Amino acid sequence: MGNAKSTDEKPKKSVRRKSATTPSTRSSSSSSRPSISSQGNRKPLLSINQRQIIKGCMDNSKDDLGERIFRRALERRDDFKQFIDKLTKKQRYENSSYLKQFLLGVVDNLTDIDEINRLAEDFGCNHVQFRVNGFKPDFFACTADAVTTECTFLDQAAHPTSETAAAWSLLTSHVFSAVRDGYYAELRRQRKSSNAFRARVSVDVVSTGTDDGTSLSSATRRSNSPQEEIAENYEHHQSTSTHHHHHSSSANDSCVESSGNFLAPPTVY
């Protein structure tokens, strides 16, 4: 009987452990992230207790989480407030909603660092378009601080404040470091493609200028036209000299001969 009880208790404990880990992330952690779960050369980003704290906070969050985070960030930096003021009402709503969905995606993949990095890089890449509105990559730091502060309050004193804040600070420091990486990677990609486009356009302009034939032939005609005109004038004077009287003919000949000696093309023998 004692053996039967011991055998019955073991599967109950294992079932409880599995249910304690998040059902939505347990399958992903077992399949896509075996190296981190096995604790090889790398340690997990968060401990089990820290993951539970963060998930509990997000369970307590409401639809306006992104807006609350933005309001805290506005209080920290005036230039961030200026950036937000330049956005349209629709853009503000989209950015706050995107921030909340981004955080939910991160929390759903706390045991998968590769997926967290991918989500973070995409989040940073998306913000390059707002440079025209005055966005700065330094805003990611104040956003990370605002996330830590706001989400710590979501714990509702279920854990010591220092413990909750430490868990969120560890998560946001890693996440927003990857966010900055994604931002700068996209910025470099756009600049590289822009430079390549400019080089391609300059090559096209040069090729059309030389291969078109119009500018080249016109330049050739422009350089040869004075000599051609002088030669034509010389021939014209010789052909018309016999039709004029002797005095005007000799004057024209002397004039043409004097100009022909300096400007007419040399005779090739």
Q: Answer yes or no: is 177 within a domain.
A: yes
pLDDT score, position 213: 45
Q: Answer yes or no: is 148 within a domain.
A: yes
Tally of domains in the chain: 1
pLDDT score, position 245: 44
Three-state DSSP class for residue 64 = coil
Summarize pLDDT for 218-246 with one digit per residue, the tens: 444 444 445 555 455 545 555 555 444 44
Q: Answer yes or no: is 57 within a domain.
A: yes
Dihedral of alpha carbons 28, 30, 32, 38, sign: positive
Q: Tell me, what CATH number does 135's domain have?
A: 1.10.490.10
**Which one-letter DSSP state was computed for residue 229?**
H
Which residues have C-beta within 8 Å of that of residue 81, sequence separation ≥ 6? 74
Asked if residues 176 and 69 have their Cβ atoms less than 8 Å apart, the reply is no
Residues of the chain with pLDDT under 70: 1-42, 197, 199-269
Q: Answer yes or no: is 28 within a domain.
A: no
**Helix ranges, 77-213 (H):** 78-86, 89-107, 113-126, 139-153, 161-211
Range of the domain at 170: 48-198
Residue type, 171: L
Residue carrying the six token digits 């990611």: 140
**Cα dist from 266 to 221, 234, 261, whole Å:** 19, 13, 9
The rounded distance, in Å, linking the Cα atoms of 21 and 19 is: 5
pLDDT score, position 195: 80
Q: Answer yes or no: is 27 within a domain.
A: no
pLDDT score, position 238: 52
Q: Answer yes or no: is 224 within a domain.
A: no
Q: Answer yes or no: is 231 within a domain.
A: no
The rounded distance, in Å, linking the Cα atoms of 267 and 269 is: 6
Three-state DSSP class for residue 255 = helix
What does the chain come to in residues?
Answer: 269
Asked if residues 73 and 80 have their Cβ atoms less than 8 Å apart, the reply is yes
Whether the predicted model's global pTM rises above the 0.75 cut: no
The rounded distance, in Å, linking the Cα atoms of 125 and 186 is: 5
Three-state DSSP class for residue 213 = coil
pLDDT score, position 223: 44
What are the backbone angles phi and psi of residue 159, rounded to the nearest 5°? Answer: -130, 165
pLDDT score, position 202: 58
pLDDT score, position 232: 56
**Which one-letter DSSP state was computed for residue 131?**
G
